[in-house]
Amino acid sequence: MTKNKNNQAIWNNRIKNKSSVLFQRVGSSINIDKRLYKEDIAGSIAHVEMLFKQKIISFKIKNKIIYGLHKIEKEISTKKFVFRTEYEDIHINIEKRLFEIIGDDAGYVHTGRSRNDQVITDLKIWIKSATKEINFTLDKIIKNILKLAEKNIDTVMPGFTHLKNAQAISFAHYLMAYIEMFYRDKKRFDNNLENLDENPLGSVALTGTSFNIDRNYTTKKLGFKRPTNNSIDTVSDRDFVLDFLYSISVCSMHISRVAEELIIWNSDGFNLINLSDKVVTGSSIMPQKKNPDLLEYLRGKTSTSYGNLFSMLTILKGLPLSYFKDLQDDKEIVFRSNDTFIDSLNIFDELLKNFNPNKKRMLELANSGHITATDLADYLVKNHSMSFRKAYQKTADIVNLAEKKKKNLNQLTLEELKKIEPKLTIDVLKVFDLRNSINSKKSYGGTSFENIKKMIMKYKNKND
């Protein structure tokens, strides 16, 4: 039937000896890139439709090829397809099977294209849909944080710098800070799509082709915005892979920071939150333990994202243009990063639904560490016409006095305060009230209850 015997590599007319089993094993990527079968078939269908439109192949051959490709797609999705290591990758596995199904006419499918442009077309389409799934999950996460924030506008806690009590805040304001982080992540993933949205197909091996192909046609068919401009750059470029890996790394880093924070808050020392039994694990020896393993898992897995980003950067670092085998590793890196990340996103989402603030303890902690000292300094500036620096010094003296008397600031009497600043009146005592302190931070983006309510509304409307 065909010269292209099915147990031979496509290049067997030229390369007579079979490659060693070891070389076949390390050189083959089929176990990884078989995941691209749908994208690969869509790319091939768009390609042959274009070849027909441009009168490069006949109507009959185009239809035969499309029939075969559909059949292959079905075989793969119903797990009837046998993937073969000796055919290296998904592209050759499909082409070989096409020969088996439709015979020699399969030989027309690779006219005016190469695996070099084929593989990036597939990977770009794949990353595009992976990005959509990621952003869908990020939306869920943002919604769940919003729900928590709405319930905790009145929850008072200490805000920290250097992990020391700094100023009082609403827990909802803290949660809304997470929303900013994840919203930026969503935008970062979205922004990547703009650069990625260029169709590589038709760049062929590296030079383009002498066939009269129509790249705008395949661009439209495959849902890209425009064709890439330079065939050499196209087959060498993996910036879109880096963008994806970088965005995953940044978002993982955000998740890791939140996880670390929750681990600290869940510790017996802080005791600011409680995790439900669904998300903790026990110890094999210490019966009292409830450990936040899942949070630790999230923090740990962030290293995988960084590692993958660095692998890809390193592959590209010394690579001249254009295609080299080194690039084949991009898919393993992308899939590994994506899968770990999707797991992390879902685990994180689950965790958000499984913890509660320990409101009593939050308030108790907020009442220690002279947390309203800055409010007192601001009060002196506003009511006793002092410069901020002067007010800062006076307040420091008052804090020293409180410490000497082993009292909190709000336990000092007016008489004691007056020893440091005689002009003070009873009115000053209100600055030591935590809710008052929080509500006074009305500057845009500040923690006042009013601000938080508005911000929650703003994000709720964005997210609907």
Q: Which residues bind ligand ARG (CB under 6 A)?
A: 29, 33, 89, 115-116, 119, 323, 327-328
CA angle 315, 320, 321 (to 5 degrees): 105
283 is catalytic: yes
440 is catalytic: no
Indicate which residue of 20, 283, 368, 385 is catalytic: 283
The token duo for 309 is 């980003």
Q: Which is nearer to ligand ARG, 236 or 437 (CB)?
A: 236
Q: Which is nearer to ligand ARG, 123 or 146 (CB)?
A: 123
In 3D space, the residue among 349, 353, 347 whose CA is nearest the CA of residue 297 turns out to be: 347
- How far apart CA 143 and CA 463 sit, in angstroms, is 7
- How far apart CA 442 and CA 213 sit, in angstroms, is 62
| Closest distance of CB 115 from ligand ARG, Å | 4
Report the residue closest to ligand ARG, judged by CB: 89
| Closest distance of CB 209 from ligand ARG, Å | 15
**CA distances to 20, 119, 238, 305, 321 from 318, in Å:** 28, 21, 13, 22, 10
| Closest distance of CB 335 from ligand ARG, Å | 12
Q: How far apart are the first and last CA of the chain?
A: 59
- How far apart CA 149 and CA 352 sit, in angstroms, is 11
| Closest distance of CB 348 from ligand ARG, Å | 31
Peptide bond into 337 cis (omega under 30): no
233 and 321 Cβ atoms separated by less than 8 Å: yes
| Closest distance of CB 330 from ligand ARG, Å | 7
| Closest distance of CB 92 from ligand ARG, Å | 8
What letter represents residue 262's amino acid? L
Pairing assessment for the beta strands 226-227 and 198-199 based on DSSP bridges = parallel
- How far apart CA 343 and CA 131 sit, in angstroms, is 14
Indicate which residue of 162, 210, 284, 443 is catalytic: 162
Q: Which is nearer to ligand ARG, 32 or 431 (CB)?
A: 32
| Closest distance of CB 31 from ligand ARG, Å | 12
Q: Which is nearer to ligand ARG, 120 or 456 (CB)?
A: 120
Q: Which is nearer to ligand ARG, 238 or 254 (CB)?
A: 238
Q: Which is nearer to ligand ARG, 33 or 105 (CB)?
A: 33
Sign (positive or negative) of CA dihedral 242, 245, 248, 252: negative
Sign (positive or negative) of CA dihedral 445, 451, 453, 457: negative
| Closest distance of CB 293 from ligand ARG, Å | 37
Q: Which is nearer to ligand ARG, 89 or 378 (CB)?
A: 89
Q: Which is nearer to ligand ARG, 247 or 328 (CB)?
A: 328
Residues belonging to the active site: 162, 283
